[in-house]
Amino acid sequence: MPSVLITGASKGLGRATAEEFAARGHRVVATARDPRTLDDLDVDQRLALDVTDQASVDAAIAEAGDLDILVSNAGVIFHASVEATPPAELERLFSANTVGSIRTAQAVLPQMRTRGSGRLLFLSSVVGRVVLPGNAAYAATKWALEALVEELAIEVGHFGIHASLIEPGAISTGALDDVLRYALPDDPYAPLMSQRGDVFSSMLTPAEVATAIVDAAEMDSPPLRVPVGASTVQTLTARDGAPFDGAVPGHPPRLVRSRLCEPAPN
């Protein structure tokens, strides 16, 4: 029975993923900063794990024992223009979303290398490959994660370990209903932010994304990138085909990804 450890399993996608793995017969180790939030999850182990704390990660991995699969799901988000982004908050996002994911992977890799097998699944996002107004900080953490995991996949492949990036669009977990926001006084970027519109006309359910995660974990040779959802595939296809536009005199070329990224009218 394969064993899987999931970070950020207290709610939303992490919880749905724990339930899907358990339903398919895996031994599930669900983790969260406060393990009491896991009490009603029908899994094999419920452990405290804070991905931003090395001692917490080490203790949880030691208590979990042998692990075949890691699902690195824990993360945080806020919305802001780049100018309005507090540097300390940007560091907090990178600590949880990027460094925390790599820290946890580093903790499980020695046993996987010794065994010669394993699966590392990292929750990225469609915004790990395309930026939307107001979402640069979160996107940056995912872009950085994509680079690290792409290199990691090359490195650990020599030891029979697969590393994959799961790239869903917006998920109906409720996490975006009341997102922390930062803005400048009389925010000059408000017109641009309003151009975001309804980028994803239909949100994915946590169950849909959880199914994609477990499907990838059970593949013999999972791909490096797993886009999830039709709108995600459409967005990435449009982004990859976007032209360079250098038509503004006195300014360097810019990559036009969509009309959402055009300057707001004066």
pLDDT in tens, 52-91: 999 999 999 999 999 999 999 999 999 999 999 999 999 9
Is 145 part of a structural domain of the chain? Answer: yes
Is 181 part of a structural domain of the chain? Answer: yes
Q: CA-CA distances (angstroms) from residue 123 to 25, 63, 189, 226? A: 22, 23, 29, 10
The span from the CA of 51 to the CA of 103, in Å, is 7
The residue written with tokens 């724990």 in the block is 18
Identify whether the C-beta of residue 200 lies closer than 8 Å to the C-beta of residue 230: no
* pLDDT, position 201: 54
Is 195 part of a structural domain of the chain? Answer: no
Is 252 part of a structural domain of the chain? Answer: no
Is 196 part of a structural domain of the chain? Answer: no
Identify whether the C-beta of residue 31 lies closer than 8 Å to the C-beta of residue 6: yes
At 192-232, the pLDDT tens digits run: 877 665 554 578 899 999 999 999 999 999 999 999 987 77
The span from the CA of 22 to the CA of 44, in Å, is 9
Is 23 part of a structural domain of the chain? Answer: yes
Catalytic residue among 122, 138, 143, 200: 138
Its domain, for residue 171, covers: 3-186+201-239
* pLDDT, position 179: 81
Report the SS3 class of residue 24: coil
Q: Is 138 a catalytic residue?
A: yes
Is 256 part of a structural domain of the chain? Answer: no
* pLDDT, position 198: 53
User: Which amino acid belongs to residue 217?
Assistant: A
Is 150 part of a structural domain of the chain? Answer: yes
Q: In the beta sheet, which residues pair with residue 27?
A: 3
Stretch 177-190: mean pLDDT: 88
Stretch 14-30: mean pLDDT: 97
Looking at the structure of the chain, the number of domains it has is: 1
The span from the CA of 263 to the CA of 43, in Å, is 49
Query: What is the value of pTM for the model shown?
Result: 0.86
Q: Which of 40-49, 113-122, 163-172 has the lowest mean pLDDT?
A: 163-172
* pLDDT, position 247: 39
At 136-180, the pLDDT tens digits run: 999 999 999 999 999 999 999 999 999 999 999 888 765 555 788
* pLDDT, position 255: 39
CATH number of 235's domain: 3.40.50.720
**pLDDT, averaged across the chain:** 87
